[in-house]
Amino acid sequence: MKLSTVLIVILSIIAGFALIIFNGTSDIIEKISGTILLDGMLISLLIMMCLDILTGLITAQMGRSPNTDDGKFSKKVFVKGLVSKGMILIVISLAIIVNFAVHNNMIRDIVTLFYILEEGFSILENCTYAGVPIPNRLKKILSALEEDIEKSEDT
């Protein structure tokens, strides 16, 4: 078995345990929130980012990645994706700083929700490339949420 396959299996198991742990265990989330200023939205974003990375790796392992010519894993594309995730966190940090200045969490919430939806679309896209059928209802709900966010950003 290839090392990349083993890595994907290990990451899948870790992600599965993380979802089990965070699903319905609000005490843990509250403890994390009080310690390092995270709330449900930020934790959700971090989980979505991990799932996006995982589904991207799985898609590449299957040879179906749209980001490379041969559909296989590319270190360059992987690093670019990680840098992109880091930049998203910088943008959210900026929104948090602005919130402190104006004493309102609305800006940070809108920015965070926008990126949660973007990560969700990316996960769905990766699943589609991997051959997983996506329910149309889920696609419609996410599209409607994204439209609502874009409208609130314009006002």
* Contacts made by residues 17-21, CB under 8 angstroms, sequence distance 24+: 18/47, 18/50, 19/47
- Structure confidence at residue 154 (pLDDT): 67
Other C-beta atoms lying within 10 Å of the C-beta of residue 6: 10
Other C-beta atoms lying within 10 Å of the C-beta of residue 118: 17
pLDDT in tens, 134-148: 888 887 877 777 777
- Structure confidence at residue 32 (pLDDT): 47
| Domain of residue 40, residue span | 3-154
Q: CA 58 to CA 69: how far, in whole Å?
A: 16
Looking at the 3D structure of the chain, how many domains does it have? 1
pLDDT in tens, 81-94: 989 999 998 998 88
pLDDT in tens, 30-66: 554 444 456 788 888 999 999 999 999 999 999 999 9
- Structure confidence at residue 87 (pLDDT): 92
- Structure confidence at residue 26 (pLDDT): 47
